[in-house]
Structure 1
Amino acid sequence: MSTACAQVSAPPADDALIAARTAAQTGNWDTLRALVPRVQGHVLAAYPQYWWLRQQLNDTRKPLPEVELNEFVDAHRGTYLAERLRGEWLLAAYRQADYATVRTLADTTVTTPQADCAILAAMQARGQRVTARQAIEKFQPGDVCWALYDRLQADGVLQWQDFSTQMRDMLETNALANAKRMARYVFEPAQLKTLNAALDQPMAWLARQNPLPRDRAARELIVVALSRLGRNDLQVGYEYFQRNWARQLPADDANWVRNQFALLASFKLDPVAVEWYRAGEGGTLTEYNQAWRARMVLRQQPVDWRALNRYIEQMPPALRDDPTWVYWHARGLVALGAVQQGQEEFRSIAGQFNFYGQLAAEELGISTTIPTSAAPVTPEELARAQYDPALQRAIALLRLGWRTEGVREWNHALRGMNDRQLLATAQLAHRDNLYDRAVNTAERTRDQHDFNLRFLTPFRDQLVDKAGEIGVDPTWVYGLIRQESRFVMNARSSVGASGLMQLMPATAKWVAKRIGMTEYGHHRVNDMDTNLTLGTSYLRIVLDDLGGSPLLASAGYNAGPRRPHTWRSTLPGPVEGAIFAETIPFTETRDYVKKVLSNATYYAALFTGQPQSLKARLGVVAPQMAETTTIP
């Protein structure tokens, strides 16, 4: 403890550390090496040495510096950097065909998908036969995994069917680059030359291919092209497939194509998807497509509960046990008269603090409330968190603005913590205004909870006043900010959204003009008051545009207000809000909406001290013709 205190109370200046990082980023390795001694005693002293060793691992002209690597791993055993370095060492050993070292490191390394593939490749090279199932379960597109597949194909471990199935899965999600790479294992070189035409202009290409070839690879080209027809014109493509090819294809292939058309129809919320899924029954579906088959049945009114439950029961166990499908299967059981069995399924998830846990509890007559708080964190528990070296490193990184490294160190420190340790760590983060770390840590507890940490309310006076001034529910605003930025004021997304409420530059400028904020400049978007003013104003504009529905407005805030208009226009009749939320065709927006409204319900319970209804907050969504909106 005293050593940790010394590290925090009297560290060397950060300038040497910052200079070392700059040297590492610019490839100035001599400068980095010279700076390593200057950071000794700093809480982050291991980082420059790690950057140096990582570079040595990447230099394929030199042998691996095993002595230095072992010294670093031994000196920093159990830390995030030691584990990460072991993983990079493993990959470097693989690249040098040092399979004995790969196997040695495999037993002590927290691996990545590429490292997992390196381990399997080393096993295969050393005569330990790898199974196709092992390889497929570990595979993620990347150089090492592709190299593993090259070897396993050559050794006869992976067969043509293994590759074609994975290629189809990649095509289903439109991962074309990976699908084309996988296609090298499926098609002959001459066939690969025609693959682009089959993918890009399937109708024109197919017109030249009748009759169906007997060669399985040539036939697979036909199937691939047919699966792409719907991306241009769904109905025309499906009719062409049914008229010209469905009877020629083996049943499995024909049903796979039908299910691809059904999936594309699902993305458009076209009810014909239900008919096409029914026609494709018996065909192979990915978990992704199985979920959409269930969603499209759910969206039809009245819901065919028998068909829905049959489709859910056909899901593999991991998907079937997801709270989403536990909830809807239970709803189906109740609707079909198996009330007791349905209630048992509701009870199995009703204790979860999430969207479907809350809805399941409501089906049992239990509204959303705040659980009794755990005993307060003691000074001793807080001190142990404060002097934890891993947390000290994480906090130091976050204070320097090195968020990626800081978050990784923080998450590594949380592994294996019990509830009391998690609560103390969340309290430490809150004390240091690391609100995102406080929330993410507090929500990991299993039995002892503190919802004042899990659902923080920083800036409460300013936010409540601003929400009241604009006329939006502050608990909804809190629910949205918790999902958008986790209260990090300078948060910036990969697409350029900024601040607490994650405003895009063009949106912020438009709202500022709309509300008459004459002094607005983009440099002010992360200013808390400016961000709250623009964000709540935009939320109110979207809410009014979408008929006062927080559900639709949350979707519009994330995906753009035009899309909820379109999605609502395709409804066959009024649907409960949970059905609308579950059938939003964008995965990100679907998850976002569920989390925002779940958050908002908990915030309302915190603010009022009264039980709350998520179902009431979701409301009912009725069909309405798509309207043109001028909101960006």
Structure 2
Amino acid sequence: MQLLRAILTPLVAAAVLAAAAPLVQAQNRGDDTLLEMHQAFRKGDRKKLEQLLPAARGHALEPWAAYWELKLRLGEASPAEIQAFLKRYAGTYQEDRLRNDWLLLLGQRRDWAQFAEQHPSYRMSDDKEVRCYALLIDTLKGTAPATAADEVRRNWYAQRDGDDGCTHAAGELYSYKQLTAHDVWRKARLAVEANRVRSARAAVEIVSPESSAQVKELMDSPTKYLQARATARGKVRQELVTLALIKLAQGDADNAATQLDNKWSVHLSPEERNWVWGVIGKQAAQRLSSDAVTYFGNVTKDSDLTDDMLGWKARAALRAGQWKVVRKAVEAMGDDARRDSTWVYWHAKAVLNGKPSDAERAEARQALESIASPKGFYEQLALEELGQRVVVPPAPAPLTAEEKAAARANPALNRALYAILLGIRGEGVREWNYATNLHTPGGMSERELLAAADFACQREVWDRCINTSERTKTVIDVNQRFPMPFRNTVVERAQGIGLDPAYVYGLIRQESRFIMDARSHVGASGLMQVMPATARWTAKKIGLTGFTPDQISDRDTNITIGTAYLKLALDDFAGSMPLAAAAYNAGPGRPRNWRNGPVLDAAIWAENVPFAETRDYVKKVLANTTNYAALLTGQPQSLRSRLGTVGPRDAASPVVNADLP
């Protein structure tokens, strides 16, 4: 009853809370049924779902119950059953979700007639595999746009695992000579680099079926393959050797470099050599090896490299202070990569650190102005390059009562919040995102997004509050984007141990989005995502007697343990916020190694963090911290002042918290 009162709004409340007590009790029993069905769906228990479905009829989350039941038997369901579902739940996320599933099934069955009939009603249009099927059908019908082959190729390259839709479409387009053998071999290279054997074999099967069996051999033992099994002839032989060298570089970049230099270079084309050197350079750069610059220096044509390789070439050059190389690497990237704020910023810095003409200087300044804002890490650094600081942006016009009421009456938003607060978070988040997505027909305007975010804020579903508000482009509601739940507890605890409360809030926002029951795949729990072993060590370190791991889920205990560990990490890294944030995310051992080498501007150091998750984490925590500091103090703030420099530990300084886990 209490849960229902917390989450039901006019959509459901009118039908439940205003009704007789037996109906409320029935709704509570319905909650239990939905939770039981959710578990049955996750276990693949079709029989139980069928048994429970009648009891879910009339429940606020009935569309989910019906979806789970039909999804598990979709391969056997009749078109009439599927159409009945689509009609009954027309306009809902569940209708579009099931149509997405059905389209994939129809594509796998090569039922192009039914696919073509259903596809125009598919609203999400965000499934790359479905899109590949649709483009193939248009090609078969002769109605495909001129860009169809390019789009299939992009989607195919983006799929890490071997999917049927884009692989099949690519094979067909190759047979129609709309994709080249080179296009297909590039996919095989990307798959090998990502260690996706099935995807690599599927690509090779298209262009050289007789060679596909060799893919597993070269993946299992590239050295052995290069020594004895590179038996194919001509272009195919070169490509298979290229794949083997790529695989070898993944585990031993220096050995791959030796093999390429001493034996294989003369047998490969310039483009193949450049690609392999790019992979070798990337692997060395991710080890923070100074050899990365040398390896990348063997590349004779930057445009032969992928944007990912070029990104690592730029990072290695940043570490080495080679600004000309940074500039050229960014200029060789594709349009999308060059527009990313990371590379807009570093390209402008590279230009300004060279000997720019007046026109180049003005262009670099214009580029910085194009991204400068409080929104993110490089946006804030761009502000500072332009002589400004991070301040709280002006608030948008207050939401009207009508705007708020419209959000509260939205059926999809209500279902989403109901699911989230009932504990079915994954489904609730997907439905919420669908309802607020600007790319779906009838998607929300910026004012509607602010109203939806407000709805989530009022229900204290902070992750949806933040993520929804972040979608606005022309206005920023900083109180939605950077909420401060549990303010007294966080501020008092942080200040009591000498931590900046803004830093704590910046970290919590990135760790859990203030989800109290957040739990990571590795077992970290609560607001500050504390691991059980770390919690036990920290509790002992700070003298928290009687601590047991189950207490991590208690809000105040989680904050106490999390802030204490953050302070211990900060002390261990001599007050460096970037290093302490990296330690909080990846453990202290890694940043202790990552700091070795030259003394770097911390922005350069952060961009070179080898783990993508930790690299993103450090930048976001520091940008969050700067925004929270502006909110908490009301004063202009500097991100750069929080970054400082990063270099090897001062040997003369005493070691602090050497046993930090």
CA RMSD of aligned residues (A): 2.7
Map 1:25-44; keep pairs closer than 5 Å.
25=42, 29=46, 32-33=49-50, 35-44=52-61
Task: Tell me the secondary structure at the aligned position of residue 57 of structure 1.
Answer: coil
Match of 2:4 in 1: none
Distance 1:92 1:261, change over 3 A: closer
Residues 304 and 417 (structure 1), Cα distance of their counterparts in 2 relative to 1, 3 Å cut: same
- 2:622 is equivalent to residue 597 of structure 1: yes
CA contact (8 A) 1:565 1:625 kept: no
Matched, 1:323 2:341: yes
What is the CA distance between 1:133 and its match in structure 2?
2.7
Match of 1:115 in 2: 130
Paired residues of 1:426 and 1:441 also in contact (CA < 8 A): yes
Q: Which amino acid aligns with 1:403?
A: R
2:600 and 2:646 in contact (8 A); partners too: yes
1:29: Cα distance to partner?
A: 4.7
1:13 aligns with 2:27: yes
* Correspondence 1:103 to 2:124: no
* One-letter identity of the residue aligned with 2:64: Y
Identify unmatched segments of 5+ residues in structure 2.
1-8, 438-442
Provide closer, same or farther for how the CA distance between residues 158 and 188 of structure 1 changes in structure 2, counting only shifts above 3 A. same
Relative to structure 1, is the Cα distance of residues 176 and 25 closer, same or farther in structure 2, using a 3 angstrom cutoff?
A: closer
Say whether 1:425 aligns with 2:452. yes
535, 549, 567: which one pairs with 1:522?
Answer: 549
| Counterparts of residues 317-466 of structure 1 (less than 5 Å) | 317-335=335-353, 336-337=355-356, 338-351=360-373, 353-415=375-437, 416-466=443-493
TM-score with structure 2 setting the length: 0.87
Q: Among all aligned residue pairs of Structure 1 and Structure 2, give the percentage whose two residues are the same amino acid.
A: 39
- Aligned equivalents of 2:475 and 2:42: distance in 1? 43
Query: One-letter code of the match for 1:91?
Result: L
Please report how far the alpha carbon of residue 30 of structure 1 lies from its aligned counterpart in structure 2 after TM superposition.
5.8
Contact kept, 8 Å, 2:352 with 2:364, in 1: the verdict is yes
Partner residue, 2:199: 178
Pick closer, same or farther for the CA change 1:224–1:521 going to 2, 3 Å: same
Partner Cα distance (2:229, 2:453) in 1: 63
Is 1:258 the counterpart of 2:277 in the alignment? yes
Counterpart residue number, 1:277: 296
Q: 1:7 to 1:592 in 2, by over 3 A?
A: farther
1:578 Cα deviation from its structure 2 partner: 1.0
Deviation at 1:560, TM superposition (A): 1.3
> What is the CA–CA distance in structure 2 between the aligned matches of 1:392 and 1:42, rounded to whole Å?
12
Cα shift at 1:235: 3.4
Could you say which residue in structure 2 is the equivalent of 1:54? 71
Going from structure 1 to structure 2, the CA distance change for 1:602 and 1:515 (only over 3 Å counts) comes to: same
Could you tell me which residue of structure 2 aligns to residue 247 of structure 1? 266
Structure 2 distance, partners of 1:448, 1:624, is: 43
CA distance in structure 1 between the partners assigned to 2:265 and 2:11 by the alignment: 73
Q: How far apart are residue 451 of structure 1 and its match?
A: 1.1
The Cα of 1:188 is off from its aligned counterpart by: 4.9
Deviates more, 1:249-258 or 1:197-206: 197-206
Superposed CA offset, 1:221-263 (max 9, x none): 2222223343454434423421222233222222222222111
Question: How much has 1:577 moved relative to structure 2?
Answer: 1.4
Q: Deviations over 1:356-384 (max 9, x none)?
A: 11111111111000011123333332222
In structure 2, C-alpha distance between the alignment counterparts of 1:493 and 1:114, rounded to whole Å: 28
2:163 aligned to 142, 149, 153, which one? 142
Find the aligned partners of 2:658 and 2:419 in 1 and give their Cα distance: 44
Tell me the CA shift for residue 122 of structure 1: 4.1
Whether the 8 Å contact between 2:536 and 2:549 is mirrored in structure 1 is yes
| 8 Å contact kept, 2:306–2:333 | no
Contact 2:11 2:409 in 1 (8 A): no
> Could you tell me how far apart the structure 1 residues matched to 2:40 and 2:259 are?
60
Residue segments in structure 1 that go unaligned for 5+ positions in a row: none
Relative to structure 2, which stretch is displaced further, 362-371 or 434-443?
Answer: 434-443
Within 5 A, what are the aligned runs for 1:483-494? 483-494=510-521
**1:6–1:38 distance in 2 versus 1, CA, 3 Å:** farther
Determine the C-alpha separation between the residues in 1 that align with 2:650 and 2:584: 20
Per the alignment, do residues 505 and 178 of structure 1 end up closer, same or farther by CA in structure 2, a change over 3 Å counting? farther
Residue of structure 1 equivalent to 2:593: 566
Distance in 2, matches of 1:579 and 1:320, equals 18
Query: 1:98 deviation in Å?
Result: 2.9
CA offsets, 1:65-85, max 9 Å, x none?
A: 2xx433433443332111112
- In structure 2, do the counterparts of structure 1 residues 201 and 89 end up closer, same or farther at CA, with 3 Å as the change threshold? closer
User: 1:148-297, aligned counterparts within 5 Å?
Assistant: 148-149=169-170, 151-152=172-173, 158-189=179-210, 191-208=211-228, 214-282=233-301, 284-297=304-317
- Is 1:7–1:42's contact at 8 Å kept on the other side of the alignment? no
